[in-house]
Amino acid sequence: MCGIAGIFNVQHSGIIDTRLLQHINRIQHHRGPDDEGYFVDDLVGLAHRRLSIIDLSGGHQPLFNEDNTVAVVFNGEIYNFKALIKELKNLGHQFRTVSDTEVIVHAWEQWGKDCVSHFRGMFAFAIWDKNTSTLFLARDRLGKKPLFYSLTAKGQLVFASELKVLLAHPDVSRTLRDEMAEEYLMFGYIPDPFTAYKHIFKLPAGHYLQLTPGAAITASAYWDLSAPATVLSWHDTQEALVDQLLDAVRIRMVSDVPLGAFLSGGVDSSAIVALMSGLQSNPVNTCAIGFDQAQFDETHYARSIAEQYQTLHHDRQINADDVSLVEVLGRLYDEPFADDSALPTYLVCQLARKQVKVALSGDGGDEIFAGYRRYRFHLAEQKVRGMIPSSIREPVFGMLGQIYPKADWAPQRFRAKTTFQSLAMNSVDAYANTISKLRFADRQRLLSPAYRHQLNGYTGNDILRRHALNAPTDDPLKLIQYLDLKTWLPGDILTKVDRASMANSLEVRAPLLDHQLLEWAFQIPSQDLIRRQEGKFCFKKALEPYLPKDILYRPKMGFSMPLAHWFRTQLRPMLHTQILSPVMLDCGYFNPHQLRNIVAEHESGQRDHGVVLWSLLMFAQFMERQA
């Protein structure tokens, strides 16, 4: 795992400043503390930070082809590199290393832009082909590895693995994007291809940029989920599921450095540990993070799996003293990022790095096999939408959604306001309502009239609507899984893990997000994913020989923090010093009265605004850094 950066003269902008390239690249030292490398010529400068995982002695980058006319800088892992080396050697290519990086160079020579279709892994890379004066940037299919870029006013394209690298370049604009506050308050992150900044973009997952001097900068897709070619029977699913997963785990265990796994005690991480244990003779190194409040703590489940598979287990509890890391998180993500599980994720990466350099995770299981509770709720709502004509449904449930109280204090079954709101909407807008950190009506109250006018009717729903138009299916469950693969997965889950792991110089691999496994799983009928209100039904059934039922079928807890309590105790001062700071009150995005009201209601115990306050706290820290 590494960090890459570069500068390309799109408009023949003069010489590449080598000292500037070195300066911005060293800002991401944490992504690759083992080595650095540079290549500069008249049109391009490439930079690399290396975290050595494969071919420790021979993987220095930039890496070149035989005659030094093609160079690459690469962040990630190509898991099928050994098979590709054999194939490319048979086609006449000469290899000087045994690293997966060199595979990219020769694959580009052999297949050009289609090289990405041959790679099985996680990657963001830049290829410079001197023969054709072409710069080729690509990001993996699901967006596990990040890639940011910006075109400066002087005509140079600057790109890097992290946003902070671009922001250190004096010619990269720091102008904020008008829509970013609305999108952030809805999603809890800024969805691809956008960032918080008007002139800085994320290369979307499964896309590439192919550039020559003077060319337009347009991202092109090379991969997307297709409509299932067939529908798997229950027998076929159960027969093949574990084998499919075993293959994805096996290829991710290739490493020349110590390797372990995260173990939360949930189904997905427990499954990965169980299969790893059968694939290696030594005990698996496992790590877990828990909380000192029982309703948030899963470490006893993790210990039971560790005992079952005799792993070398390490765990740590988070308590209120760990809130000092809040400031670290604000700086880590470079733009507003509201997922409160970023804190335990950072700490489990920190814990794992003391033992290993590579860790396998269970990320992706809920998205691929439909484990989220919101999926079950959405399907139940869809049944109602199908039974009641929209001419009746929209006004009746719309009215109920307006008058029903927002009962945060009540048990889940009595919190009907969101359900009533969603039943008045179409499927995509209803799902947008379900996933929103702050729902539309609440955003309208919080945002200032001037900012709402500036948005001119725009909402974050527009992003989901655009993705829905490209969905390969109208199956209600698979549609929202597809929407999550395009937004939630790259924007939240994978961003969280990449920044948290790289901040600790740790590589994290996610077998459940293997694209071949995903394409296979997309053929599983929805009724086999969710059955009798049990999410991941076929997945859990297939794993019964490996995991106890109290792990497989217990209620999902998630990886969140006791925010309500912390904002009334250790985090309480931040409500006033940061959320109600002059920067927040005067920035123009918010209604100051509503900001104060949210803080007062939470402090008094009248309402639980923990999730909203965390979102506002992360936004406040971002705004402070803009000064």
Distance from C-alpha of 153 to C-alpha of 166, rounded to nearest angstrom: 14
Q: Is the dihedral of CA 106, 111, 114, 120 positive or negative?
A: negative
Name the token pair of 206: 């499964």
Distance from C-alpha of 280 to C-alpha of 311, rounded to nearest angstrom: 11
User: For the chain, how are helix, strand and coil distributed in percent, rounded to 5?
Assistant: 45, 15, 35
Check whether the bond before 193 is cis (ω within 30° of 0). Answer: yes
Active-site residue 587, yes or no? Answer: no
Q: What is the dihedral of CA 562, 568, 573, 577, to 10 degrees?
A: 80
Distance from C-alpha of 470 to C-alpha of 327, rounded to nearest angstrom: 39
Name the token pair of 587: 């920035």
**What are the CA-CA distances from residue 48 to residues 34, 203, 204, 335 (Å)?**
11, 18, 21, 23
Distance from C-alpha of 487 to C-alpha of 500, rounded to nearest angstrom: 19
- Give the amino acid at 282: N
| Catalytic residue (choose from 2, 115, 538, 587) | 2
Start-end of H helices in 155-266: 163-167, 180-187, 234-251
For 413, residues 6+ apart whose C-beta sits below 8 A from its C-beta are: none
C-beta of residue 461 within 8 angstroms of C-beta of residue 185: no
Distance from C-alpha of 23 to C-alpha of 47, rounded to nearest angstrom: 10
Distance from C-alpha of 323 to C-alpha of 156, rounded to nearest angstrom: 40
Name the token pair of 333: 């993500």
Cα separation of the two ends of the chain:
32
For 226, residues 6+ apart whose C-beta sits below 8 A from its C-beta are: 472, 519
Known catalytic residues?
A: 2
